[in-house]
Amino acid sequence: MAHTHHAAVSRRRPDLRSVVGVTGEILITLGVIVFLFLAYELWFTGLYTAHAQSDFKKQLQSEWARPLPSPVASVLPGEQPGASVAPAPTVSDRPVPGDAIGLIEIPRLGSNYSYAIVEGVSTDDLKKGPGHYPGTALPGGIGNFVVSGHRTTYLAPFNGLAELVVGDAIVIETRDTWYTYRVTDLQTVLPTDVAVILPVPGKPKATPTKALITLTTCTPKYSASHRLIVDGVLESAQPKSAGPPPALQGS
């Protein structure tokens, strides 16, 4: 009895060994795949964003170099729009979803910190760079200019937002103007707190009188539990012909 039992075990041992071996190899493979996914998220997605950003910047440079389609860029406040002279709205009046609308520069995050802002906040838009919430104010406009960006993946444009301090400059570069905003507040809110992107944050019915900026990203890093919100207010609008604003010259 003991003999047959021993024989059975020794006959089965190679099978058992190969089962354990194959299981081990599968587990090691899964572990390697997890590391590969990490590499994909933290590094490979950045290659895609870098490519898209470089295309956007070229596109902006060539667009800005071209003269405006119509010499009448805007209607004077006293005139009646649409009466006799109805100038076609310029590109910047209604950005095309998926197009670049300008550059964001934050000296605190490095003198080379410059990202093209894409119009739209869909998953596809945000893969290409920080995205402007459609329907919120445009750069320099009265209301709230809201931009969202990735914190850890896709080149992590908004990774450094937590390092900003009150008074830091956020510069938005458009076709003809540098808009310098100053950080007024950093806060952490829940993802459902949509009041932070209102024209007057926190006050749904209020009429906006100030030009504000709001940057949003996820916080803490690698989490979706909260959102980091950076608020700012417009300090100055300087035409491009006058050179870069003081906020950028110090760097």
Partner 1 sequence: MYGALWRRIPGGLAGRLAGMAGLLISALALLFFVIFPIVEPHLPWNDVTVNTPSLSEPPSAPPASSVSPVPGVSSLVP
Residue of 132, 150, 151, 175 marked active site: 150
Identify the bridge partners of residue 237 per DSSP, sorted by sequence position.
Answer: 179
According to CB under 8 A, which one of 16, 27, 33, 86 is a site residue for partner 1?
33
Q: What are phi and psi of 216, to 5 degrees?
A: -125, 145
Residues 68-127 that bind partner 1 (CB under 8 A): 96-100, 119-127
Piece of 5-13, 67-75, 106-114, 189-197 that binds partner 1 (CB under 8 A):
189-197
51 binds partner 1 (CB under 8 A): yes
* All residues at 6 or more sequence positions from 218 whose CB lies less than 8 Å from its CB, including other chains: 151, 152, 224, 226, 227, 228
β 131-132/114-119 pair status: parallel
45 binds partner 1 (CB under 8 A): yes
43 binds partner 1 (CB under 8 A): no
6 is catalytic: no
46 binds partner 1 (CB under 8 A): no
According to CB under 8 A, which one of 197, 211, 230, 247 is a site residue for partner 1?
197
3 is catalytic: no
According to CB under 8 A, which one of 92, 153, 174, 180 is a site residue for partner 1?
153
Cα 163 to the center of its chain, rounded Å: 16
189 binds partner 1 (CB under 8 A): yes
Q: How far apart are CA 114 and CA 208, in angstroms?
A: 28
63 binds partner 1 (CB under 8 A): no
**Dihedral of alpha carbons 110, 116, 120, 125, sign:** negative
Cβ 114 to partner 1, closest distance in Å?
A: 19
Q: How far apart are CA 195 and CA 189, in angstroms?
A: 10
Nearer of residues 134 and 141 to partner 1, judged by Cβ: 134
Secondary structure (3-state) at 146: strand
CA distances in angstroms from 122 to 98, 103, 118, 148, listed in the order given: 9, 19, 10, 10
Secondary structure (3-state) at 243: coil
Binding site for partner 1 (CB under 8 A): 21-22, 25-26, 33, 36-37, 40-41, 44-45, 48, 51-52, 55-56, 59, 96-100, 119-128, 133-136, 146, 148-154, 158, 189, 191-194, 196-197, 216-218, 221-224, 227, 229
Which residues carry out catalysis? 150, 218, 227
